[in-house]
Homo-oligomer: A and B are copies of this chain.
């Protein structure tokens, strides 16, 4: 089969690779219903993360089980499954505590920008749907695997509760999903920070009540202005830069919470500053597995449509263009038709 490999900065190739097979008794092999490009794929693509050897790309996935290892009991060939981008056993103490992304056996999914993929720790990672889903739900089910699950964790980590005033830093795909998540969790007022018309529109559609176009100090001032000088009860940080983190920190009220899901690049916190700011911080790779059953239900009930975040649909073989479009900000997020 042909699949996506990253050779180095800007060098994405769709090329022949060996077809994945069951390697361990806890594995499953799935045929993907669709795949996509993640914002985090752009870090190595842009040369901001080293690429020592060609990497099999792709960690977001849903599709039909083709084969399972001898130990797999919770899914079977023919099942339509959605899995988390973090592979977990879902039985260890960290998993039981709801932090499957810190599973004692944690691995990260790879090789999902392909027609077929191997999913290790299948029992702990995959959730089977009760039946084959309608075709039009595929993008939303795919979104659950990472981008919506991550936005949802941002809101969960920030402790979003009904009636709250919240802010979202970042209008990338994850930021937009954080808006949707905050809406689902009952936030009253959702301030989205965005300066791109198409993203503002999607944010408003997902539930944003206010748009702030300013950034940095001015962005913070604007949030304070919108909240009578108080700050937001909860802020979701979905970028991962020093500037975005500062915005999140001082956009939140004292005692307020920041859920940060943008992988920090070049970010440090000064202990004394954090102390006197009195903001609550929780971040990390999202424990999507915790949320999977609930998020799949939201999609199957057609309550939400997170799949709208994919504003570019192209065939898998054009994956290189999918990266380019996101890199050049022509697309928010690229769906790859398999």
Q: A97-B253, A230-B93, A268-B271 given as contacts; is B281 within 8 A of A280 (CB)? A: yes
Q: How far is the CA of A97 from the CA of B277 in the complex (A)?
A: 14
* Most chain B CB within a 10 A radius of its CB, from A228, A263, A267, A284: A284
Q: How far is the CA of A272 from the CA of B263 in the complex (A)?
A: 7
**Least distance between A43 CB and chain B CB atoms (Å):** 11
> What 1/0 flags go to A280-310 for Cβ under 8 Å of B?
1111110100000000000000000000000
Which B residues touch A260, using CB under 8 A? 275
Which B residues touch A230, using CB under 8 A? 93-94
- For the complex, is A213 an interface residue (Cβ under 8 Å from B)? no
Which B residues touch A285, using CB under 8 A? 275-276, 278
Interface pair A102/B284, CB less than 8 Å apart: no
- For the complex, is A101 an interface residue (Cβ under 8 Å from B)? yes
- For the complex, is A270 an interface residue (Cβ under 8 Å from B)? yes
Which B residues touch A271, using CB under 8 A? 240, 245, 264-269
Q: How far is the CA of A227 from the CA of B157 in the complex (A)?
A: 24
Interface pair A255/B97, CB less than 8 Å apart: yes
Identical subunits present: 2
Q: How far is the CA of A266 from the CA of B268 in the complex (A)?
A: 13
Q: How far is the CA of A280 from the CA of B284 in the complex (A)?
A: 10
Of chain B, the residue at the smallest CB distance from A284 is B278
Q: A264-B272, A272-B264 given as contacts; is B102 within 8 A of A278 (CB)? A: yes
Q: A268-B269, A268-B270 given as contacts; is B284 within 8 A of A253 (CB)? A: no
- For the complex, is A10 an interface residue (Cβ under 8 Å from B)? no
Q: For chain A residues 77-98, which have a beta carbon within 8 Å of chain B? A: 93-94, 97-98
Of chain B, the residue at the smallest CB distance from A278 is B284
**Least distance between A85 CB and chain B CB atoms (Å):** 14
Interface pair B272/A102, CB less than 8 Å apart: no
**Least distance between A153 CB and chain B CB atoms (Å):** 10
Q: For chain A residues 169-215, which have a beta carbon within 8 Å of chain B? A: none
* Most chain B CB within a 10 A radius of its CB, from A98, A229, A267: A267
Which B residues touch A148, using CB under 8 A? none
Interface pair B272/A282, CB less than 8 Å apart: no
Of chain B, the residue at the smallest CB distance from A273 is B264
Q: A245-B271, A277-B284, A278-B99 given as contacts; is B264 within 8 A of A94 (CB)? A: no
Interface pair A275/B268, CB less than 8 Å apart: no
- For the complex, is A216 an interface residue (Cβ under 8 Å from B)? no
Of chain B, the residue at the smallest CB distance from A264 is B271
Of chain B, the residue at the smallest CB distance from A241 is B271
Interface CB pairs A-B, < 8 A, 25? A93-B229, A93-B230, A94-B230, A94-B253, A97-B255, A98-B255, A99-B255, A99-B278, A101-B254, A102-B255, A157-B280, A245-B271, A255-B287, A264-B270, A264-B275, A265-B271, A267-B272, A269-B271, A269-B274, A276-B285, A278-B282, A278-B283, A278-B285, A280-B281, A281-B282
Known: A245-B271, A263-B275. 18 other contacts (CB 8 A): A93-B230, A93-B253, A94-B253, A99-B253, A102-B255, A157-B280, A254-B284, A260-B275, A264-B270, A264-B274, A265-B272, A267-B272, A268-B268, A274-B283, A275-B284, A279-B282, A280-B282, A281-B282
